[in-house]
Amino acid sequence: MSLVVLALKKRNNETENVALELVSKAKKFYNGEISAILLAAENSDESKNIEKLSQAGVNKIYVIKNTKLDRYSTLYYKEAVLRSLEKINPDIFLIGATVNGRDLAPRIASALGAGLTADCTDLGLTEEGKLAATRPTFGGSLMATILSRTTPQMATVRPKVFKMNEPNYENKPEIEEISVNLDDVTDNIEELNFVPKTFEDTPIDEAEIIVAAGRGAKEPETVELVKKFADKIGGKFAVSRSLVDLGLFKNDIQVGQTGKTVTPKIYIACGISGAIQHIEGMKNSGTIIAINNDKDAPIFKIADFGIVGDLNKILPKLIERE
Amino acid sequence: MNIVVCIKQVPDTQDIKWTEKGTMIREGVESIINPYDEFALEYALKIKDKYPDTKITVISMGPMQAKELLKLAIAKGADEGILACDKKFAGADTYATSATLAHTIKKYVKDIDLIICGQFAIDGDTAQTAPSMAGHLNLPQVTFVTDILSFDEKGIKLRRETEEGFIDVQAQYPLVISVMKRSDEPRNHTIKGYINACNTDITVACKEDIGIDDNLIGFKGSPTYVSKSFPPHFERKGEILTDEAKLLDIIREKLKEGK
């Protein structure tokens, strides 16, 4: 019985936090061995990543080494993972649903013929010890718990869905290095250029305050008011899916199941009705405030505070006040 | 060039109304081409603009009504449409869906250069079908594509967006890409395209036509299954404020408190 978390890395070679969140969650529901897979170039210094994974509480770390693994590549990473899974043979295999995680996980699953449940919001075990992966379905109006008929049972989880445990400095996991041979694999997708995101495009999931506009704020004047209000209180502007579907904004500032999962200190929903697919992306926020003209909008049921009324009247008052 | 565009029929979420309990009212909801797939088609059409000899085949798996959406794609400029349609395909998860699409493509389209998919389907949100299909076809893939920067008959230059930034890559054919939405609108159908669509038969392929194994399709071929479903539950107190000024005080207070 073992559970494995794939720890993908950022461009600066640091393990993505979502891997540590997955280990933290696994510690809560899984009693068997919990290990992590780290992929690295032959000469790469992995001590910091090993330290972080140790502190998250893994029992074992597999460091998979090959010169071709210095940077993320779909085909090299896929093969390296598949070849090491032959040795590790886990029952459960979890991957963070970052861009690269979402690129890689289905590729691994299809090669293994394994079931993969995307973007889970909860993980646990059934009485028989199978992975119970829960995610919203039918546009988010229903939660579904999905099981897998095959092994490994795979699931992806978005960043920030689970909380990271307090670091355990005492934990001393076993480290096993595995050299994989990738001589027969070629990835002819060549990276030409990388442009990092500027402060302006700092992702919304890192913001302390988020002011989000929904379908009730779709008119350009209202959008402007929401943005102004966000500026006033030092928040990041975000949107719900309907404004992205209308083609008004890009998906990178969208909160919800298809967008980002956010956990700011304060989340202010302006003209957002509160479809479950949206709520899934912000329900763990510190304080949730809703402004909506429909007093029956579901958003009020999951908000700490609400104001019922017209955004075009309320927001200017809030913007003007000291 | 030989391009395949994968299209999914989805309910128009703009039409969706919610009951008081927060459940979806599905009656009277129209079907549309998944918006991300519209952009997939638009990229294919841009390539055809430059290389008019390009053949674009649109493929979907779904019920017979999905023929209409394939016709619509032809009216916009695609050349052929194939619908994988069989009762036995029902209940497919992403693995079985991508296996079905991959086998349909293998059976009906030869010498493919490029397969373009939308990054997400707005009703399923898994983003798994394209990479999984690329796996079944044993082709390289580039996902989360925000732009095609340039292309010729030898290869294609793409921009991919990750959490950290934008990565430009040079890729060779054959290749599977999945694309994000853009700010510019995909084109509409033309009169000529409309006439063309009326005169073009959509190929409807059942399980036997495709020649795919029973254990790869539908519910039976799906490694995942739903064991239970339940309404979501996460309520808070929802205190309604009548004085909006109080809101600013709450914001100040909460910021001091920390999470």
B135/chain A closest Cα distance in angstroms: 5
A208/chain B closest Cα distance in angstroms: 9
CA A188 to chain centre: 28
B120-143 burial: b if 16+ Cβ within 10 Å, else e = bbbbbbbbbbbbbbbbbbebbbbb
B205/chain A closest Cα distance in angstroms: 23
B112/chain A closest Cα distance in angstroms: 17
Q: Alpha helix locations (H) across chain A?
A: 17-29, 47-56, 74-88, 99-112, 220-232, 241-245, 276-279, 311-320
How many angstroms separate the first and last alpha carbons of chain A? 59
Query: Which pLDDT belongs to residue A251?
Result: 83
Range scoring the smallest mean pLDDT among A50-59, A83-92, B30-39: B30-39
The tens digit of pLDDT for each residue in A6-28 reads 999 999 999 999 999 999 999 99
B24/chain A closest Cα distance in angstroms: 6
Query: Which pLDDT belongs to residue B245?
Result: 83
- Residues A147, A114 contacting (CB under 8 angstroms): no
Question: Where is B100: in which H helix or E strand?
Answer: helix B94-108
The tens digit of pLDDT for each residue in A277-300 reads 898 889 888 899 999 999 999 999
Query: Which pLDDT belongs to residue B259?
Result: 41
Q: Could you tell me which residues come within 8 angstroms of residue A306 by beta carbon, excluding any fewer than 6 positions away?
A: A289, A290, A291, A292, A299, A300, B238, B239, B240, B241
Q: Could you tell me which residues come within 8 angstroms of residue B248 by beta carbon, excluding any fewer than 6 positions away?
A: A233, A318, A321
**Residue B27: pLDDT band with limits 50, 70, 90:** low
C-alpha to C-alpha distance for A68 and A40, rounded to whole angstroms = 8
Structure token digits, residue A189: 């997708």
Question: Where is B2: in which H helix or E strand?
Answer: strand B2-6
* ipTM given for this complex: 0.90
Average pLDDT over residues B95-109: 97
Structure token digits, residue A320: 């003007």
Average pLDDT over residues A122-151: 89
CB contact under 8 A, B255 and A266: yes
Residue of B nearest to A9 (CA): B164
Interface with chain A: mutation pick from B37, B117, B128, highest number of A CBs within 10 Å: B128
* Comparison of pLDDT for A201 and A237, the residue scoring more: A237
Query: Which pLDDT belongs to residue A199?
Result: 60
pLDDT higher than threshold 90 for residue B39 = yes
Question: How big is chain B, counted in residues?
Answer: 259
Structure token digits, residue A307: 């104001």
Residue of B nearest to A198 (CA): B165
CA A129 to chain centre: 25
Maximum mean pLDDT: which of A204-208, B47-51, B180-184: B47-51
Query: Which pLDDT belongs to residue A74?
Result: 97
C-alpha to C-alpha distance for B221 and A59, rounded to whole angstroms = 35
> What are the phi and psi torsion angles at B93 (to 5°)?
-90, -170
CB contact under 8 A, B180 and A144: no
Beta bridge partners of B161: B166
Nearest alpha carbon to residue B57 among B104, B117, B112, B5: B5
- Residues A176, A234 contacting (CB under 8 angstroms): no
Q: How many CB atoms lie within 10 A of CB B114?
A: 24
β strands within chain A, DSSP E: 2-7, 33-40, 60-65, 92-96, 116-117, 122-125, 131-137, 142-148, 153-157, 174-179, 190-196, 209-213, 236-239, 266-270, 287-292, 305-308
The CATH number, out of the four listed (3.40.50.620, 1.10.3720.10, 3.40.50.880, 3.30.450.20), of the domain defined by the range B2-225:
3.40.50.620
**Residue B165: pLDDT band with limits 50, 70, 90:** very high
Interface with chain B: mutation pick from A14, A99, A121, highest number of B CBs within 10 Å: A99
Query: Which pLDDT belongs to residue B76?
Result: 97
* Comparison of pLDDT for A6 and B252, the residue scoring more: A6
> What are the phi and psi torsion angles at A174 (to 5°)?
-75, 140
Q: Which residues of chain B have a CB within 8 Å of the CB of A158?
A: none
C-alpha to C-alpha distance for A6 and A291, rounded to whole angstroms = 40
Q: Which residues of chain B have a CB within 8 Å of the CB of A305?
A: 238-241, 247, 250
How many angstroms separate the first and last alpha carbons of chain B? 55
Interface with chain B: mutation pick from A164, A305, A311, highest number of B CBs within 10 Å: A305
Instruction: Please return the burial class of A36, using the count of CB atoms within 10 Å of its CB with bins 0-12, 13-18 and 19+.
Output: buried
Question: Where is B73: in which H helix or E strand?
Answer: helix B66-76
Query: Which pLDDT belongs to residue B18?
Result: 53
Q: Alpha helix locations (H) across B115-233?
A: 129-137, 191-199, 207-210
The tens digit of pLDDT for each residue in B152-162 reads 988 999 999 99
Instruction: Please return the burial class of A275, using the count of CB atoms within 10 Å of its CB with bins 0-12, 13-18 and 19+.
Output: buried
CA angle A152, A155, A160 (to 5 degrees): 145
The tens digit of pLDDT for each residue in B195-244 reads 999 999 999 999 999 999 999 999 999 999 999 888 777 778 888 988 88
> Looking up tokens 């988020």, which residue turns up?
A210
C-alpha to C-alpha distance for B17 and A215, rounded to whole angstroms = 12
Query: Which pLDDT belongs to residue A275?
Result: 87
Average pLDDT over residues A250-275: 89
The tens digit of pLDDT for each residue in B177-192 reads 999 988 778 999 999 9
> What are the phi and psi torsion angles at A244 (to 5°)?
-75, -40
> What are the phi and psi torsion angles at A86 (to 5°)?
-55, -35
B136/chain A closest Cα distance in angstroms: 7
* Comparison of pLDDT for B11 and B211, the residue scoring more: B211
Task: Name the residue among B16, B133, B223 with its Cβ closest to that of A115.
Answer: B223
Average pLDDT over residues A186-200: 89
Task: Name the residue among B229, B240, B250 with its Cβ closest to that of A143.
Answer: B229
CB contact under 8 A, B169 and A189: yes
Task: Name the residue among B140, B170, B247 with its Cβ closest to that of A74.
Answer: B140
* Comparison of pLDDT for A109 and B243, the residue scoring more: A109
Query: Which pLDDT belongs to residue A256?
Result: 87
**Residue B23: pLDDT band with limits 50, 70, 90:** low
Structure token digits, residue A137: 């379905």
Read off the amino acid at residue A132: A
Structure token digits, residue A192: 């030409």
pLDDT higher than threshold 60 for residue B49 = yes
Q: Which residues of chain A have a CB within 8 Å of the CB of B133?
A: 110
- What percent of chain B shows pLDDT beyond 90? 72
- Residues A85, B113 contacting (CB under 8 angstroms): no
Q: Domain limits of chain B?
A: 2-225
**Residue B17: pLDDT band with limits 50, 70, 90:** low
Hey, what domains does chain A have and what are their CATH numbers?
2-179 (3.40.50.620), 199-320 (3.40.50.1220)
Q: Could you tell me which residues come within 8 angstroms of residue B256 by beta carbon, excluding any fewer than 6 positions away?
A: none
CB contact under 8 A, A193 and B167: yes
